[in-house]
């Protein structure tokens, strides 16, 4: 049986154009009785060889979710990525952005002839009492100043300071995905500013919904001649709207800020965790401070500031952990474990030390 040559034509998925590869099929595959197998071997084997040599595996097998391995991976990530240190860094930027952000919102509210007290109470709903009193006193001092200069300064300070906070989030998320920040400065700053503006708009819309939603809903139900059915519906909507808005904000934050292409379903688990975790942590911390902790006796007049800092720190940890969960699920699905980082702590037994990606069962 004479040797036969095959010319294989296939599409290269990376370059998006057809490439022609010339491969010589082995003589054993060119038997007349195995025409189908000969075609498969002559066409598929060279293609797989090319992909394995140049681009790695054609399609990695998706691993099944394993709760035990996931928990181990999260503990390792908590240590390797220095989540507490990243949370402290994010707390610093959030503190710088917190008061300008509130001043900016209150200034807009005052120009819209809204009740500032109702808006403030909605903002401080989940905060501990001592920290809420400190923030409330500061906001009341500036809530009556309705001048354009305050609005302009508040807007500029808010956008710039809050964008620094988003930059800290970007750094933490890039570390979770083992990605280096190689995007230009203007692009990263632009993403941070856009995320800040979206966050402010969502918060204002949610506040408008909570403040005016009941009045608008009662009016609409009266037009429909069904006024008695509004109250139970509003009791549900008043909780679902802020919850859905928070999920949307965290989803956008985890989606557009990292230096990595992600799809919606890959960031949704972390967004749901961050929303539920932030609400639960805020409620539990408020109960602890209001019932058991007395920071005013320990720190005096700084008690409210200490409570605010602690609350911001816990919130920062939750935000970073949401990104770590998304990264752990993504790497676990692809069967790749994260590279270990150099830390000041001791490596856990399951932490890899060879510095190479390794496929593990998940």
Q: Please indicate, yes or no, whether residues 272 and 207 belong to a single structural domain of this protein.
A: yes
* Same domain, yes or no: 107 and 20: no
Asked if residues 78 and 324 have their Cβ atoms less than 8 Å apart, the reply is yes
Residue that is written with structure tokens 């491969």 in the block: 23
| Domain of 25, in residue numbers | 5-54
Query: What six digits make up the tokens of 221?
Result: 């139900």
Q: How many domains does the chain have?
A: 2
Domain assignment of residue 192, yes or no = yes
Written as tens digits, the pLDDT of the chain (362 aa) is 444 444 444 444 444 434 444 344 444 544 444 444 445 555 555 555 555 555 545 455 556 777 788 888 888 888 888 888 888 888 888 887 777 777 767 666 666 666 556 666 766 776 777 777 777 777 666 655 555 555 566 567 667 777 888 888 888 888 888 888 888 988 888 888 888 888 877 877 777 776 677 777 777 777 777 666 677 777 787 778 888 888 998 999 999 889 888 888 889 999 999 999 998 998 888 888 877 767 777 777 777 788 888 888 999 999 999 999 998 888 877 666 555 554 434 344 444 433 444 444 44
35-62 CB burial, b ≥16 within 10 A, e <16: eeebeebbbeebbeebbeeeeeeeeeee
How many other CB atoms are there within 10 angstroms of residue 162's CB atom? 25
State the Cα–Cα distance between residues 142 and 128, nearest whole angstrom. Answer: 22
Domain identity same for 222 and 123:
yes
Are 233 and 318 members of one domain? yes
Give the span between the Cα atoms of 104 and 124, in whole angstroms. Answer: 16
Residues 27 and 78 in one domain: no
Q: State the pLDDT at residue 291.
A: 78
- Asked if residue 303 is part of any domain, the answer here is yes
pLDDT value, residue 335: 62
- On whether residue 361 sits in a domain, the answer given is no
- 208 shares a domain with 120: yes
pLDDT for res 221: 74
Please report which residue ranges of 257-302 form alpha helices under DSSP H.
264-291, 295-299
Same domain, 34 and 153: no
Whether residue 190 is found in the same domain as residue 213? yes
pLDDT score at 12: 42
**Which has the closest alpha carbon to 123: 282, 321, 230?**
282
Whether residues 149 and 179 fall in one domain: yes
Statement to judge: residues 167 and 24 lie in one domain: no
Rg (the chain; Cα; Å): 28
Question: 26 and 155: one domain?
Answer: no
Mark whether 224 and 97 lie in a shared domain: yes
| Residue written as token pair 């204002």 | 204
Q: What's the confidence (pLDDT) of residue 197? A: 81
């Amino acid at each position: 049986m004479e040797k036969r040559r095959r010319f294989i034509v296939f599409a290269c998925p990376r370059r998006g154009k057809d490439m022609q590869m010339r491969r010589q099929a082995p003589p054993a595959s060119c038997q007349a009785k195995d025409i189908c197998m000969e075609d498969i071997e002559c066409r598929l084997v060279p293609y797989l060889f090319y992909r394995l040599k140049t681009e790695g595996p054609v399609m990695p097998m998706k691993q099944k979710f394993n709760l035990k391995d996931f928990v181990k991976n999260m503990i390792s990530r908590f240590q390797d990525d220095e989540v507490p240190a990243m949370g402290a860094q994010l707390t610093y930027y959030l503190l710088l952005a917190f008061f300008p952000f509130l001043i900016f919102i209150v200034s807009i509210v005052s120009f819209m002839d809204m009740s500032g007290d109702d808006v403030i109470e909605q903002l401080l709903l989940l905060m501990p009492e001592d920290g809420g009193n400190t923030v409330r006193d500061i906001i009341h001092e500036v809530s009556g100043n309705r001048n354009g200069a305050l609005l302009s300064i508040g807007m500029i300070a808010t956008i710039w300071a809050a964008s620094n906070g988003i930059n800290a989030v970007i750094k933490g998320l890039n570390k979770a995905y083992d990605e280096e920040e190689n995007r230009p400065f203007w692009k990263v700053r632009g993403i941070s500013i856009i995320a800040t503006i979206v966050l402010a708009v969502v918060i204002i819309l949610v506040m408008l919904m909570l403040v005016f939603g009941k009045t608008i809903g009662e009016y609409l139900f009266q037009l429909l001649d069904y006024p008695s059915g509004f109250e139970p519906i509003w009791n549900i909507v008043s909780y679902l709207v802020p919850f859905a808005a928070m999920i949307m904000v965290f989803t956008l934050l985890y989606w557009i800020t990292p230096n990595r292409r992600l799809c919606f379903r890959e960031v949704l688990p972390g967004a749901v965790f961050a929303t539920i975790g932030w609400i639960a942590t805020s409620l539990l911390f408020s109960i602890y401070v209001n019932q058991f902790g007395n920071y005013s006796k320990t720190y005096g007049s700084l008690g409210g500031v200490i409570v605010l800092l602690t609350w911001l720190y816990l919130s920062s940890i939750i935000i970073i952990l949401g990104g770590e969960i998304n990264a752990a699920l993504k790497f676990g699905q692809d069967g790749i474990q994260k590279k270990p980082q150099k830390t000041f702590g001791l490596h856990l037994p399951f932490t890899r030390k060879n510095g190479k990606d390794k496929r593990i069962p998940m």
